[in-house]
Amino acid sequence: MNNEKQLSQQESLRLITEMIQKAKGSHFHENGTSAILWGAVVGFCGIMSFAQYTWKFSIGFDVWILTFLALIPQIFIAIKEKKNKIVKTHEQAVLDAVWVVYGISIFAVIIYMNTVPNASVELLAKDHIQLLKKDTLTGEVKPWKPFVLSATSILMIIYAFPTLVTGLARKFKPMIVGGIFCYGFFIASLFTSSVYDALLSGFAGICNWFIPGIILRNRYNKAKKALHV
Amino acid sequence: MFKELDPILHSQLRLAIMSLLISVKEAEFTFIKEKTGATAGNLSVQVQKLKEVNYIDVEKKFVDNYPQTTCKITEIGIAAFEAYVKALQQYLKV
C-alpha cells in the first residue's frame, strides 16, 4: 500500500469499508483447546460420578477435583493463546469478560453449595432450632443437615450461559446448539435423581464444550493448513 | 461550507491503519502489515506519525525475546476518525 497516493473521497470511503471488512474477517482465531479440555473434564467427571453411584464402586477420591486440576493446564493455554494473538477485537474482549465472570460464578456456587448446609445448622442452632428427619418406615428420627436440592441443575444453567452468549455473538452454531441442549438437560434434571443429574451434567459438558471444541479444532487446523499451502 | 479533510487521515496507508484499529480493541504490527499489505518500513513511519498526533497508542514489548508492537486507537483518534467520516459524507452527500 502506497501512502503518498492521493485519495478521492470515494476511494477513501471504499478503503475504510474494505479495511473494516478485513478486520471483521479475522475474528475466529480460537483453536478449541480450552473447550476440548473443559468438555472432556466435565464430561468425564459427570459420567464417572454416575458410574460410581450406579455400579457401586469408588475411585477413592471426589472425581470433581479434576475440574480444579484442569485449571493448571488452562492457565498455560491462556498464556500461550495470549502470546499468539495478533489482534483483539471488542467482541473478544467482551466474551473474555463473560468467561471470567462465568468462572467466578461457578466458583461462588460451589462455595455456596458446600457452605450453606453447615452454616444453616449453626444458624438454626443459635435460635435453638434443630432440623430432624424421620424414617417413615421405622419411625427413627435423626438430626438432618439441609442441602441445596438439585444443585447440579443450578450448575447446568450456569454452564449454558457463557456458551450460548459466545455461540450467539459469534454465530457459531455448535455452541448455540450446545447451550440449548444444556438448558434441555437442566429441565430434565429437575425431574431426575442426583445420580442422573450427574450423568446429565456430563452430557452437558460434552455438548457445550467438547463437541464444539472438536469442531473449532478442525476448523483451525484446516485454516492453518490452507495458510501454509 | 465543506469541512477540510484531516490531512493526517487523508492518506492511503494512515487511513487504512485507522480503519483497522477502529474495528478492533488492539492489534499487533504484524496484523496491520498483513491486512494493509504495506512494507514494514513504510508502515513503521506512518504508525509513528499517527502516534505523534495522539491518534493511536503504541506499546512495544518483548515476548519470548521477540519485539512485539501493539497499536490501539485513542479517544482523540476515534473523534478524528468520526469527524473525517462525517466530512466525507458531506462531500459525497450520503
Q: Is residue B23 part of a domain?
A: yes
pLDDT in tens, A102-119: 999 999 998 998 898 999
Tell whether B3 is covered by a domain.
Answer: no
How many structural domains are present in chain B?
1
Examine residue B39 and state whether it is found in any structural domain, yes or no.
yes
Point out the residue among B22, B38, B64 whose CB comes nearest to the CB of A1: B38
Q: What are the pLDDT digits (tens) for B10-29?
A: 899 999 999 999 999 999 99
Residue B77 lies in a domain: yes
pLDDT at B29: 94
* CATH, residue B82: 1.10.10.10
Has residue B89 got a pLDDT over 90? no
In this prediction, residue B27 carries a pLDDT of 94
3-state secondary structure of B28: strand
Going by pLDDT thresholds of 50, 70 and 90, the confidence category of residue B45 is: very high
**Residues belonging to chain B with any Cβ–Cβ distance to chain A shorter than 8 Å:** 5, 10-16, 19-20, 22-28, 30-31, 35-38, 42, 45-46, 63-64, 85, 88, 91-92, 94
Within a domain: B6: no
Q: Answer left, alpha or beta for residue A61, where phi above 0 means left and psi between -120 and 50 means alpha.
A: beta
| B83 within some domain | yes
Domain-located, residue B54? yes
Instruction: Kindly determine whether residue A16 and residue B85, on different chains, have CB atoms separated by under 8 Å.
Output: yes
Per the DSSP assignment, residues forming a β-bridge with A89 are B24
How near does any CA of chain A get to the CA of B22, in Å?
A: 8
Residue B94 lies in a domain: no
**What pLDDT sits at residue B42?**
94
Contacts of B92 in chain A (CB under 8 A): 9-10, 13
For A165-196, the pLDDT digits (tens) are 999 998 899 999 999 999 999 999 999 998 99
Q: If you ran DSSP here, which 8-state letter would residue B73 be given?
A: E
Band (pLDDT 50/70/90 cuts) for residue B94 is: low
| Cβ-defined contacts of A64-70 (< 8 Å, 24+) | A66/A41, A67/A41, A67/A42, A70/A37, A70/A38, A70/A41
pLDDT at B8 over 90: yes
Domain span including residue B82: 12-89
pTM over 0.90: no
**For residue B80, what are the contacts with CB-CB under 8 A and spacing of at least 6?**
B6, B8, B9, B53, B55
* Whether pLDDT at B34 is above 80: yes
Looking at residue A2, its pLDDT comes to: 59
Q: Which residues contact A210 (CB under 8 A, 6 or more apart)?
A: A35, A36, A39, A40, A43
Give pLDDT < 70 ranges for chain A: 1-6, 25-29, 227-229
- pLDDT for residue A5: 65
